[in-house]
Amino acid sequence: MIDIIVPVYNSKKTLKRLLESVRSQVGIPAILLTFIDDCSSEDYDSILESYREDLDIQYFRLEENVGPGVARNIGIQKTENPYIVFLDSDDVFYDEYSLGSLFQAMEENEADVVRSIIHEEKGDSIQVYEHDNIGLHGKIYRRSFLEEHHILFSENRSNEDTGFNSLIDICGAKYTDIDVVTYLWCDNPKSITRKSKKKYQEIDQENYAYHLYWAVSRGRDSNPDYYRFVFICFDDLMQLYYRNRETTSKKLKSFYYEYGCKIKNVFLDLISYDFQKFVSDFSIMNYYYEPDVVKMVRWIHDKKYQFFKEAVYSEAEWENRCYHLNLMNEYNRTPFDDWETRSDLEHKMFAAFGECVTLTPPFSANWGGKNVYIGSNCYINFNLSMVDDGNIYIGDNSLIGPNVSILTVNHSLDPIQRLEKKLSIDEVRIGNNVWIGAGVIIFPGVEIGDNSVIGAGSIVTKSIPANVLAMGNPCKVVKKI
């Protein structure tokens, strides 16, 4: 009734200990112990034969070394019992009641996954893990759930359990947690995760980031729970963001950034068409996460990331837009030396308009400046063009040359979305004391840091930090100021 799947690779020294641990289990139905030999150089026949009287054992030897993930997949395909437990060849069950505790919780709660407490040996100390959703240790899985959602391991050789468990979570598994220690992660200094740990750190972390993306990229093909899928994508984004911020390794930063961007695209695609329904359904959202996370999702949507929506105005929006466009047209016809009229129009047109600002007409904007926030002591030369469907912020003491374009709207590469009048909106932020040269084009989502200078004719597709000179197409930092 329970399949225990064990990948083995040169595990002769620890295999007897594992077999004793399995043989000692009580209070369980029949078990089948399946060993997948990942092309070891060692012979296990004599050890396995001595336990066949007490244990139902099957053994498969692979002709080439494929790694633990693929070996476990073969184990899943070679077995058929309703419950699956994964055991590493150098580990053991914590005591004789461990497997029985997992099985009982699975039966009583009709769970898809039961998670327990794990003890890890670390020299003379013990590390405790409670109900984690990363490793395979101390868990029992319902086979029918894995088959229904087509869940297997990736072919990568490390952190494949991260992707496996993440995909299970995406698909809406029912979890039961028990406060029982069932697994002892034994201290094996020769294991791949412990030997030369510093050497393997970067590849382990790369595979960790990869497997977060691996899981979400396969989520849609696995009949996912929509809301849980969205929030797991969000959680993954936050994990990689914080890891990127905290590490000093350039390699790790690049891994976290690369896979964070890929997960971001999945996340945006998930929420793009039905975001208002998504954020309004607080009862479902709060079932998984606290309200502060809901607020964070709103912030990501509103302030940072693009999503595609219908370019359709309500009657009130259309009237408001016409009002601001008419103000803009009047402003462009007003004599330049009519300071009083110009000042009155400027404060009506713009969302904010600071003191001592010079704006040289003609000026054009999609919403007539309605969503534009201009600080104090700015000089803005002629032919400033803005697509201000999204917010545009210009800091104090900034200079903007002639013929500059600032954009907050993008259209989809998907021809169907363009026919459906879908567009994306992302704000632009220009810091304090920034100089934007003549003919510069600034793309949606760009932030330009304080005191920076953007060379004439540049096309700014990505954010620029503070205190630098940047120029070119695409615009890149040339030197620090």
Active site residues: 411
Residue type, 48: L
Structure tokens at 403: 């013929």
Beta bridge partners of 448: 430, 464
**Beta strands 405-407 and 459-460, pairing class:** unpaired
CB of 365 closer than 8 Å to CB of 372: yes
Tokens at residue 298, please? 């709103």
First-residue to last-residue Cα distance in the chain: 70
Burial class (CB in 10 A: 0-12, 13-18, 19+), 175: middle
Edge-first strand listing for the sheet containing 308-310: 308-310, 422-425, 409-411
In b/e form, how buried is each residue of 302-337, taking b as 16+ CB within 10 angstroms?
A: beebbbbeeeeeeeeeeeebeebbebbeebeebeee
Handedness of CA 404, 409, 415, 419 (dihedral sign): negative
CB 153 within 8 A of CB 204: no
Distance CA 145, CA 225 (A): 13
CA distances from 264 to 184, 232, 368 (A): 36, 11, 32
All residues at 6 or more sequence positions from 176 whose CB lies less than 8 Å from its CB, including other chains: 105, 106, 109, 111, 113, 114, 115
Q: Long-range CB contacts (< 8 A, 24+ apart) of 118-121?
A: 118/181, 118/182, 118/183, 118/184, 118/185, 119/94, 119/181, 119/183, 119/184, 119/185, 120/184, 120/185, 120/187, 121/184, 121/185, 121/186, 121/187
Q: How is residue 301 annotated by DSSP? A: I
Long-range contacts of 407-412 (CB under 8 A, 24+ apart): 407/441, 407/442, 407/443, 407/444, 408/371, 408/444, 409/366, 409/444, 410/306, 410/443, 410/444, 412/308
Q: Which residue has the tokens 């692979």?
A: 62
For 123-174, strand residue ranges (E) read 125-130, 139-142
Which DSSP helix (H) or strand (E) runs through 234? helix 226-246
Q: How far apart are CA 329 and CA 356, in angstroms?
A: 22
